[in-house]
């Protein structure tokens, strides 16, 4: 049966190898079990329900990816997008978390539609590379600020807007130690560096009496506080088109980029450099977004950490199925997730931010009409504390710079339409 479903022999793998690969990828992804509920709880979402939603969304996405697309790619709520959800939409714009989940739902439906049509490739290919990279980098800078703030290292200042906080506190020192530990472990090639760092900081925090011990294993918490709580009507009638579009763009570009990167590293690309069954992979991702929003979590995405499982021999969807089953098993770890303090997840946010900021290296710095809009996007995200506004400024400035410098032919129809929508948004307030 497994051979028929996943074509193990044809892909040069075995059941044992696929199971090992699935366990490897799960280990590297599992930090999201602790980070995501913590971030969503700051939006007012019940921590226990957020944990269950995280596990179920990751399981659903990974299982669909394995069974539908037959790729060894794990899915889970995305880092960066969850920060946008909490700190951008809820805390920044004042949306209720229910309406924010409604926006995630609508963006997911749009993603499903696009995944099934050729418009997806047309849209992705037509959007300038510089802006794609700037969105990733901007999200990285955004969550870096959040991580530093959560650790108490950066605090508000009436004179300079932000300033350094009391870094001698035990929480700040533990956060800095956790960050150093993650970097060193990653450099040494230790798998699960982020997870190890989070758990190490938590253990020390408990030992120091900074965090109360709550246990490790128990029955899963109730999902009732978030199940079907998404306010879809509020998202559609609240003038939130720009927010939905921002979520859609973030999901689309992150998923497309991650899938292609994984495909290249795993040797899955065809002779033309395209990923076979990309439609099915995108459909798995987008379906998981819709399901996750109804369960109570921000957008899911494909995880680049899947490359660790591929390195361990994973070649088929059986690896993803194993990942999904392990996320289901993780439902009984809710006490451990609830015990993770903010100063343990803060270094993880900073570490992920560094990885995302690497995208800046792919920007064409010799062409100021490419680099200037990209940097406008990045810095606006961080300085306005709004990913949506960052994308808007980047897109609008790109179109204006290209047109006014006589390079209007480089402005594709999709980006022109997006720019017009963002201008309309600012015009109507």
Q: Where are the domains positioned within the chain?
A: 11-350+367-428
Helix (H) or strand (E) holding 208: none
Token readout for 65 is 């990816």
- Residue 185 to residues 193, 202, 390: CA-CA distances in angstroms? 5, 17, 33
To which residue do tokens 């999200």 refer?
139
| Residues in the chain, pLDDT under 50 | none
Report the SS3 class of residue 76.
strand
pLDDT at 286: 92
How many CB atoms within 10 Å of residue 33?
Answer: 25
pLDDT at 374: 93
How many CB atoms within 10 Å of residue 127?
Answer: 21
Report the distance separating Cα 11 and Cα 63, nearest Å: 19
Q: Are 139 and 80 in contact (CB under 8 A)?
A: yes
Q: Are 416 and 422 in contact (CB under 8 A)?
A: no
Beta bridge partners of 161: 157
Going along 68-126, which residue ranges are E strands?
75-77
Query: What's the half-sphere exposure (Cβ side, CA atoms, 13 Å) at 403?
Result: 12
pLDDT at 86: 93
Report the SS3 class of residue 211.
coil
- Residue 166 to residues 113, 153, 273, 347: CA-CA distances in angstroms? 49, 7, 50, 16
Burial 357-368 (b: 16+ CB within 10 A, else e): bebbeebeeeee
What backbone phi and psi angles, to 5 degrees, belong to 75? -125, 145
Report the distance separating Cα 213 and Cα 204, nearest Å: 11
Report the distance separating Cα 206 and Cα 39, nearest Å: 20
Report the SS3 class of residue 301.
strand
Q: Are 58 and 300 in contact (CB under 8 A)?
A: yes
Segment 142-196, tens digit of pLDDT: 878 888 988 889 888 888 888 999 999 999 999 999 999 999 998 998 877 887 8
Beta bridge partners of 156: 162
Q: Are 147 and 348 in contact (CB under 8 A)?
A: yes
User: What is the crossing angle of helices 413-428 and 387-404, to 10°?
Assistant: 120
Q: DSSP string spanning 33-59? A: HHHHHHHHHTTT--HHHHHHHHHHHHH
Q: DSSP string spanning 129-167? A: HHHHHHHHHHHHHHHHHHHHHHTTSEEEETTTEEEE--T
Question: Could you give the dihedral angle defined by the CA atoms of residues 74, 80, 85 and 86, in that order, rounded to the nearest 10 degrees?
Answer: 120
């Amino acid at each position: 049966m497994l051979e028929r479903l996943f074509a193990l022999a044809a892909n040069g793998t075995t059941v044992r190898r696929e199971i090992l690969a699935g366990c490897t990828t799960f280990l590297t992804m599992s930090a999201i079990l602790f980070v995501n509920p913590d971030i969503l709880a700051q939006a007012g979402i019940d921590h226990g329900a957020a944990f269950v939603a995280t596990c179920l969304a990751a399981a659903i996405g990974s299982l669909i990816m394995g069974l539908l697309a037959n790729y060894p790619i794990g899915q889970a709520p995305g880092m960066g997008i969850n920060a946008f959800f909490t700190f951008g939409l809820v805390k920044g714009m004042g949306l209720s978390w229910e309406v924010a989940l409604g926006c995630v739902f609508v963006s997911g439906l749009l993603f499903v539609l696009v995944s099934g049509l050729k418009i997806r490739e047309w849209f992705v290919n037509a959007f300038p590379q510089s802006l794609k990279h700037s969105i990733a980098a901007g999200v990285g800078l955004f969550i870096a600020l959040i991580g530093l703030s959560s650790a108490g290292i950066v605090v508000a200042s009436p004179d300079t807007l932000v300033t350094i906080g009391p870094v001698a506190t035990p929480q700040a020192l533990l956060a800095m130690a956790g960050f150093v530990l993650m970097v060193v472990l990653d450099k040494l090639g230790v798998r699960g560096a982020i997870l190890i760092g989070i758990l190490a900081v938590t253990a020390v925090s408990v030992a120091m009496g900074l965090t109360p011990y709550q246990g490790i294993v128990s029955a899963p918490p109730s999902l009732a506080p978030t199940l079907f709580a998404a306010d879809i009507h509020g998202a559609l009638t609240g003038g939130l088109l720009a927010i939905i579009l921002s979520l859609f763009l973030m999901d689309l570009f992150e998923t497309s980029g991650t899938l292609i990167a994984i495909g290249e590293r795993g040797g899955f690309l065809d002779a033309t450099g395209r990923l076979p069954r990309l439609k099915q992979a995108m459909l798995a991702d987008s379906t998981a977004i819709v399901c996750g929003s109804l369960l109570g979590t921000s957008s899911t995405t494909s995880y680049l950490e899947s490359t660790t499982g591929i390195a361990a021999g994973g070649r088929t969807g059986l690896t993803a199925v194993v990942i999904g089953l392990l996320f289901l098993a993780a439902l009984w770890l809710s006490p451990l997730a609830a015990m993770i303090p903010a100063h343990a997840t803060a270094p993880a946010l900073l570490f992920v931010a560094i990885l995302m900021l690497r995208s800046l290296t792919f920007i064409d710095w010799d062409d100021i009409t490419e680099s200037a809009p990209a940097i406008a996007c990045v810095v606006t995200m961080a300085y306005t504390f709004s990913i949506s506004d960052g994308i808007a400024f980047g897109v609008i400035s790109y179109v204006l710079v290209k047109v006014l410098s006589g390079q209007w032919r480089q402005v594709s129809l999709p980006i022109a339409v997006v720019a017009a929508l963002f201008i309309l948004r600012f015009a109507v307030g």
